[in-house]
Structure 1
Amino acid sequence: MATGPLPPRSAAGPAAAVPPAAADYGKMPLDEVLTRLGVDPRRGLAADEARRRLRAYGPNALPEKRVSLWRKILGYFAGPMAYMIEAAAIVSALIGHWNDFAIIFALLLFNAGLEFWQDRKASNALAALKKGLALEATVLRDGEWSARPAAELTPGDIVKIRLGVVVPADLRLVSGDYASIDQAALTGESLPVAKKVGDVAYSGSIVKQGEMIGVVTATGANTFFGRTASLVAGAGAASHAQKAMFEIGDFLIVVAVALAAVLVAVKVYRDLVVADDWSMADALSILQFVLVLMVASIPVAMPAVFSVTMALGALALSKEKAIVSKLSAIEEMAGVDILCSDKTGTLTKNQLTLSEPILFESKDAQDCILAAALASKLEDRDAIDTACIDALKDKDALRAYSMTKFIPFDPVAKRTQATVTDAQGKSIIVSKGAPQAIVDLVHADADIAQRVKRIVDELAEKGSRSLAVARSEDDGATFRLLGILPMFDPPRADSKVTIAAARAKGVVVKMVTGDDTAIAIETARQLGLGDHIVAAADIFPKDLDPNHLSADVVDAIERADGFARVFPEHKYAIVKALQQRGHLVAMTGDGVNDAPALKQADCGVAVSGATDAARGAAALIITAPGLSVISSAIDEARRIFGRIESYTTYRVALTIDIMFVVVLSSVLLGFTPLTAAMIVVMSLLDDAPIMTIAYDNTPVEPRPIRWRMPRLLAIATVLGLVCVVESFGLLLIGVRALAREPLGEAMQLFSPQQLQTMMFLQLVVGGHLLLLVARTQRWFFLPPFPAWKLLFAIIATQLLAAAMCYFGWLVPPISLRLIGIVWAYCIGFMFILGLARKIVARVVDHRMRRQEKSVATVERPLSGGLALARQAASSRG
């Protein structure tokens, strides 16, 4: 065998010396592969040359990007919400409000701790992929075989693979009879693939039968397996919940800055122009006002409430046999409108089943199946052998025969053969395999051969594989064609029902599989998915860049009911394309090949029996077989999303209330209605029990729901302004009570500090009553009623707030009469708030529907015109 040097190294350095990908070597003649890699397959690489190549190409391992611990820690304190909280803490420290500083800083650490906990799980997908790499390999160096760490392999190495071994790198097989390799986790194929000399074996696949020798063509990140890992490392979509928090934060910052500017301008004008008296104390006083406003404007507990609420939701989902590994998956699942489902083992049983045999010379179907079972070995755990044996109605029939010789399947003969002896001592030879191989074995005439071909084609159109069976009773002199066995991986019993349930919820289901198009079409037909199944090669260009797809490709992906013959980069590109069109995409899968798409999807779902790589990349892990849990998970996710949306509406409205009351009171009345400590304690009293909203009775929306920020902010703003009227109205009543002694005596209000306590109580009481209005689209006194846990938490908090105000814990004490007046006042305003919510929701929804109709009217003729133009261009071509 001729040898030659490696391709010359580029001036760019070692990275440019990496050889072509395994896909390129797969198309070359085997002699040319060996020549370009410069290796003699009988001696392997010399030790010195192997070390040189290892230095040039790097180890056979997945690259790991390490981030220093201090950079990770600093990252937890970055972001708009974190900066707002940090600013409030700094201002608190500057003016010596150490109690405020301690409370705010504790909340900052709590939020950072939650992010740290999530970040620890972020590298699971890549770590699981690394586990899949072979740890050791049998390598030929200097003419001698030895066991070496797989990480030391380099392009050109000669390695041996055999039963049970994980293929250590991408190989071109150069010698050996055959090998049956399970690469389902990489390519999605439902059966092990028979390999012969010249074929490619992928890194990370598992040898099920046989033994062969191959030459390493790619290592590490350049392997098929490594490219999948790099997709996983680069995949990932930002959480919509995070985006929502940023948008809410930006909105509140704008409002807070505007109000702070007004507040500072008025204070400076009063101190400098009107009073003509300015001192450092005045500057600190203004800073204190700004602090109060900042604390009021920052929903410091919002990230924590989001996380805790979704964590409690995750606990509820776990009872539905769905484990949440990424909390944002709950919120994403609620808005998912497309579910891309893997076929093998997810929609189907991943278990070959024999249909009724098509008989030729056999008179009985079970006789034909018995011959196929006799030509099988159960201990080999081959999927076809197992299917043949399982199809026997009477397993005891096998005991009447003893096997004397067995020839396993090989990719050249394409059949198995067994010599057996029956109870009477008669020797029989049985064979099963590819129909054409069996036709050649029996020397069938042209009519029989044509009939076999027609049957095989018809079965292929229905998505079934074909297995022919023959028997000889004269020591192999002549064989008789007994029949053809159709084989099919049947759909799971619950798949069709689950798909129908998903569609009823407004979720489109698209099947994604590595199997042939015919099999995919038949499976889709049985499941009611639609028959527009396209092969990935027909829509994706050869030089695929998943991040830059043409409009035509995206259109084809959006129209398709499913995809066949897909590879990892195809699945990843499908998800990216659908996201590009504004869809929220869920992707189910169980193999290494699914990991990039699972991580990129808005909600990646690892199904039962998934590999570690799939589970690590997924945000939701289903522990029960099939997809039936998905329907329950969607319902629960929509309930949880509804609860989070209710909390957000309430929190934004309450924040507007607090900010405006503080500014209006300071500007118009020259009075500070709340201290900074009161605001922080009030935020805790409002938010701590609200975490029980995760248990609230929330209706399930019939369609996918997602963040509609203009609608949410519009409703929250109107509710907030009505609350401002409520709070400022009570403040004015309190100010009048202080000015008029009879009214003050009636309310038992004697000092500005007690007025602050009254406002503190009103905002705590009004906040929780506001939640009861915000949590439902209907009137607050109609079902669904609050869950008992939420109601209990609210009542307990109200009793605590009343006790604080009565006994003077952290606030100046007020009378029971005044506490009762505040309660009656807030309850009365609930009806006004409820009416305002219904009116603004109706106006906003009507406007949004009009906008959607306008967009649909504009887009309809455009899309029609494009279709006509394409059709005209096609006819001209």
Structure 2
Amino acid sequence: MGEIIRANVFTKINAILGVLLVLVLVAGSPIDGMFGLLIIANSGIGIIQEIRAKRTLDQLAIVSQAKPTVRRDGVATQVSPADVVLDDLIELGPGDQIVVDGEVEEASALEVDESLLTGEADPIDKAVGAPVMSGSFVVSGSGAYRATKVGRDAYAAKLAEEASKFTLVKSELRSGIDKILTFITYLLIPAGLLSIYNQLVSSKESWRPAVTGMVAALVPMVPEGLVLMTSIAFAVGVIRLGKRQCLVQELPAIEGLARVDVVCADKTGTLTENGMRVAEVIALDGFDDGQVRKVLGALASDDPRPNASVAAIAEDMPDTPGWTSTAVAPFSSAKKWSGISYGQEGNWLLGAPDVLLDPSSATAERAEELGARGLRVLLLARSDRPVDAADAPGTVDPAALVVLEQKVRPDAKETLEYFADQHVAVKVISGDNAVSVGAVASTLGLPGGDHPIDARKLPDDPAQLADVVADNTTFGRVRPDQKRAMVTALQSRGHTVAMTGDGVNDVLALKDADIGVAMGAGSPATRAVAQIVLLDNKFATLPYVVGEGRRVIGNIERVSNLFLTKTVYSVLLAFLVGVAGVGSQIFGYDPIGYPFLPRHVTIAAWFTIGIPAFVLSLAPNNERARSGFVGRVMRLAVPSGVVIGVATFIAYLIAYAGPEATETQKVQASTTALITLIMIAMWVLALVARPFVWWKYLLIGGSVAAYVALFSIPFTREFFKLDPSNPRLTTAALVCGAVGIVLVEAAWLVQSRRARTLVTESVS
């Protein structure tokens, strides 16, 4: 909370405005200090929105966080990571994240992946007595470890603390805005010095009007709302996605997903629902149905951490023979099978038919036919050696085919169609049988689903792999290391890749993808490495996340155009007035002061930038995100700002009556310049707001009506020192404004035509 308040109050922009406010108050013109309200507004709105966003993040993070199973007094209970204390005995299973540092007390074929700590992807065997570090996760096997470091001493606690912070680091959008602000800073220094010199020396005015003129020149140069609107857009994005049960663990992920052009999706848990059911058990030659079910019941009941397939078998076959196991081989995504040895009762395997059998065998072909219908098929087989033998599985004798039904998510097809419409390619990358994966992909209408690729045949050469992955959409029997390699291959071709998944086999790919998206019901390890967690477990939520990212990026670009146009015309106008003032000393003509009071530049920004920018920053926007943010903004803002600055200066010169002018003449000159500025700035707002819908017409119409009221109502005319009563000068202002509008529109048309050409080239 304190960090958010400090970050919004103690800013460079607030400091600049604060100093200028003090100068205006010292000069005795509190009315001209209205821009000081921007300090309160910027800070207050920013604080409120960021606190709301942080609370949303914190609440969702609590829901999403891994809850380790702790054994206390012989009873196993799930607790929050913060509640783990020294010497707690914590149980482990496949996919579990190790939340505190500790030492292994129990181990059954326990393998741990420490790639998040060391970068080494190969799993490490952990025997009793071996150390385990928080931030790693279990790949296969089971066991328990005793906590030796907890709280802030544990690495995972630091990770969790950083993940839940409201931060805007590593954002392409923010880095672009920082570049723009740096450029503006370089312009502000000479423009500011020239304005100060002109107002205090060249204009030969008394010090009070000179100070107010100097402040009026400097205030509009500061893009005071640009950073604020960016923060608000991100914060509102987090809140909106939070309402859809989407946890954004790193805020730039909202922006990043909007730039994604390839989505790599796992099949199980993403395109299909997590739950399965046993559809059929087909006993093979030499084995009867009763024997097969007895073995399956034993394997399912003796698995301490069953996956979705084994859980479905356990639900269908709850009876167990009570055999005693002599060896265990837990399932892993690399070998695609698990097994338990029961001494005289035999060594039994449960795994992928096309891995355990010769693919040309009759049983493997039958499993392939079932898989082609979109069914998951497991093979129950007897082995001639213990399952933990170095050369396991050895000779395999097939006993039965277990057919499992997976339900395709009802919203998966619509989601894939959305990505196709948005020119985002979808790659289905699964560890399941390739034919089964292809059947599901074809059911959903995914192009290329009818010719899936078996990942065991993929080339190892990165360049060749990139070719295959680019040309195909559906892949089966993909190992975890291959998923990671495929993501890297796509990135090598310039793609921005999002990876979705829910299992421990997806962790490596999630970690290396540009954007990792985990399902809330997935393993704790996947949720730990992902930037976005879909707590509702719906793949269909992704389009909303993409849409929110596009809204943020597109609207910030619009808002940036407005603020930077104001900065450009303010800097240029200050330069023109300053150069004219210096020239008056050299060539002896009448000196020229700055045309506006601070109250004038304040009202000029109210309805051309301030209120419209706030509305536009929160509006719907589904334009596809593109690189080149800085260039596009500057190509519109610079010519528009130049036109406004020059036209305003010309209008002021037409109306300027010299240093000996009466107060009425000075007010009329300022009003003339202000009318020209507002006219062209309103047109820039209309350009930025395109394409028009009803509420944008209302926004622009309301802004025009507000200015008509300010210039018409006697009270506001007196309060803001406005006088449009001189027909000649007002006509001159309107003409200058009209010419400026034509020039701005021409610049916009040139820019729009260039942008359309670039978009066409990028799509093709």
Kindly tell me the number of residue pairs found equivalent between the two proteins: 684
Query: What is the SS of the residue equivalent to 1:351?
Result: strand
1:838 is the counterpart of 2:749: yes
Displacement of 1:664 after TM fit? 2.4
Which blocks of at least 5 consecutive residues in structure 1 are unaligned?
1-68, 140-148, 188-192, 393-397, 416-431, 471-479, 541-550, 742-748, 777-783, 857-877
Residue 872 of structure 1: aligned partner: none
Map 1:87-166 → 2, pairs under 5 A: 87-95=16-24, 96=26, 99-100=33-34, 102-110=36-44, 113=47, 117=51, 132-133=67-68, 137=72, 150-153=84-87
Residue 794 of structure 1: aligned partner: 700
Equivalent of 1:811 in 720, 727, 730? 720
Query: What is the SS of the residue equivalent to 1:350?
Result: strand
Displacement of 1:730 after TM fit? 3.3
Map 1:342-421 → 2, pairs under 5 A: 344-352=268-276, 354=278, 357-361=281-285, 382=306, 383-384=308-309, 386-388=311-313, 406-407=322-323, 411-412=327-328
Displacement of 1:344 after TM fit? 4.4
Map 1:634-673 → 2, pairs under 5 A: 634-635=546-547, 637-665=549-577, 667-668=579-580, 670-673=592-595
Query: Match for 1:713: what amino acid?
Result: M
Flag the 1:126–1:792 CA change in 2: closer, same or farther, 3 A: closer
Flag the 1:162–1:616 CA change in 2: closer, same or farther, 3 A: closer
Q: In 1, distance between residues paired with 2:494 and 2:688?
A: 28
Cα deviation 1:789-840 (Å, max 9, x = unaligned): x332333333333323333434024358979966787567544422221124
Q: In 2, distance between residues paired with 1:709 and 1:610?
A: 38
Displacement of 1:338 after TM fit? 3.8
1:86 is the counterpart of 2:7: no
**Bigger mean CA deviation after superposition, 825-834 or 650-659:** 825-834
1:756 is the counterpart of 2:670: yes
Q: In 2, distance between residues paired with 1:607 and 1:414?
A: 23
Q: In 2, distance between residues paired with 1:301 and 1:539?
A: 50
Flag the 1:617–1:357 CA change in 2: closer, same or farther, 3 A: closer
Cα deviation 1:609-639 (Å, max 9, x = unaligned): 4678977886655455432232354345435
1:706 is the counterpart of 2:603: no
Query: Match for 1:106: what amino acid?
Result: I
Q: Contact 1:343–1:512 (CA<8 Å) still a contact in 2?
A: yes
Flag the 1:246–1:358 CA change in 2: closer, same or farther, 3 A: same
Cα deviation 1:431-462 (Å, max 9, x = unaligned): x9959989974999xxxx98899567766997
Flag the 1:503–1:127 CA change in 2: closer, same or farther, 3 A: same
Query: What is the SS of the residue equivalent to 1:631?
Result: helix
Flag the 1:381–1:369 CA change in 2: closer, same or farther, 3 A: same
Displacement of 1:705 after TM fit? 2.0
Cα deviation 1:58-101 (Å, max 9, x = unaligned): xxxxxxxxxxx8777555456xxx32441232133145265257
TM-score, length of structure 1 as denominator length:
0.59
Query: Match for 1:653: what amino acid?
Result: T
Flag the 1:847–1:375 CA change in 2: closer, same or farther, 3 A: closer
**Bigger mean CA deviation after superposition, 579-588 or 715-724:** 579-588
Displacement of 1:297 after TM fit? 1.2
Residue 767 of structure 1: aligned partner: 681
Q: Contact 2:49–2:236 (CA<8 Å) still a contact in 1?
A: no
Residue 11 of structure 1: aligned partner: none
Q: In 2, distance between residues paired with 1:267 and 1:206?
A: 67
Flag the 1:766–1:407 CA change in 2: closer, same or farther, 3 A: farther
Equivalent of 1:251 in 155, 178, 183? 183
Flag the 1:679–1:378 CA change in 2: closer, same or farther, 3 A: farther
* Percent of aligned pairs with the same amino acid: 19
Q: Contact 1:232–1:596 (CA<8 Å) still a contact in 2?
A: no
Q: Contact 1:312–1:694 (CA<8 Å) still a contact in 2?
A: no
Residue 295 of structure 1: aligned partner: 219
Query: What is the SS of the residue equivalent to 1:466?
Result: strand
Q: Contact 2:412–2:540 (CA<8 Å) still a contact in 1?
A: yes
1:682 is the counterpart of 2:591: no
TM-score, length of structure 2 as denominator length:
0.67
Q: Contact 2:199–2:594 (CA<8 Å) still a contact in 1?
A: no
Q: Contact 1:309–1:691 (CA<8 Å) still a contact in 2?
A: no
Q: In 1, distance between residues paired with 2:417 and 2:226?
A: 37
Q: In 1, distance between residues paired with 2:105 and 2:459?
A: 25
Cα deviation 1:587-607 (Å, max 9, x = unaligned): 445579989987997655444
Query: Match for 1:799: what amino acid?
Result: A
Q: In 2, distance between residues paired with 1:322 and 1:160?
A: 29
Cα deviation 1:700-742 (Å, max 9, x = unaligned): 44x542343123202221122222344334334433799999x
Q: In 1, distance between residues paired with 2:249 and 2:64?
A: 17
Flag the 1:771–1:469 CA change in 2: closer, same or farther, 3 A: same
Q: In 2, distance between residues paired with 1:152 and 1:319?
A: 37
Query: What is the SS of the residue equivalent to 2:595?
Result: coil
Query: What is the SS of the residue equivalent to 1:706?
Result: coil
Query: Match for 2:86: what amino acid?
Result: E
Q: In 2, distance between residues paired with 1:443 and 1:305?
A: 62
Displacement of 1:683 after TM fit? 2.4
Q: In 2, distance between residues paired with 1:166 and 1:637?
A: 29
Flag the 1:433–1:671 CA change in 2: closer, same or farther, 3 A: closer
Q: In 2, distance between residues paired with 1:626 and 1:838?
A: 42
Q: In 2, distance between residues paired with 1:293 and 1:601?
A: 48
Flag the 1:451–1:670 CA change in 2: closer, same or farther, 3 A: closer
Cα deviation 1:481-532 (Å, max 9, x = unaligned): 863225586764554663464355343445677x589799879976658748
Flag the 1:752–1:508 CA change in 2: closer, same or farther, 3 A: same
Residue 305 of structure 1: aligned partner: 229
Q: Contact 2:566–2:641 (CA<8 Å) still a contact in 1?
A: yes
Displacement of 1:650 after TM fit? 2.7
Residue 615 of structure 2: aligned partner: 692
Query: Match for 1:811: what amino acid?
Result: F
Cα deviation 1:750-797 (Å, max 9, x = unaligned): 431243244445434432321111334xxxxxxx42342x33233333
Query: Match for 1:256: what amino acid?
Result: L
Q: Contact 1:358–1:484 (CA<8 Å) still a contact in 2?
A: yes
Query: Match for 1:724: what amino acid?
Result: G
Cα deviation 1:358-394 (Å, max 9, x = unaligned): 542499999977995798679999544542477x7xx
Aligned-residue RMSD, C-alpha: 6.4
Q: In 1, distance between residues paired with 2:48 and 2:507?
A: 25
Query: What is the SS of the residue equivalent to 1:339?
Result: strand
Query: What is the SS of the residue equivalent to 1:294?
Result: helix
Displacement of 1:249 after TM fit? 1.4
Flag the 1:316–1:786 CA change in 2: closer, same or farther, 3 A: farther
Q: Contact 2:105–2:146 (CA<8 Å) still a contact in 1?
A: yes
Query: What is the SS of the residue equivalent to 1:485?
Result: strand
Map 1:568-583 → 2, pairs under 5 A: none
State which structure, 1 or 2, has the greater radius of gyration over its C-alpha atoms. 1
Residue 421 of structure 1: aligned partner: none
Cα deviation 1:542-563 (Å, max 9, x = unaligned): xxxxxxxxx9999999999889
Q: Contact 2:263–2:425 (CA<8 Å) still a contact in 1?
A: yes
Displacement of 1:270 after TM fit? 3.5
Flag the 1:72–1:831 CA change in 2: closer, same or farther, 3 A: closer
Which blocks of at least 5 consecutive residues in structure 2 are unaligned?
75-82, 118-122, 332-336, 350-355, 383-396, 581-590
Map 1:516-555 → 2, pairs under 5 A: 528=448, 531=453, 533=455
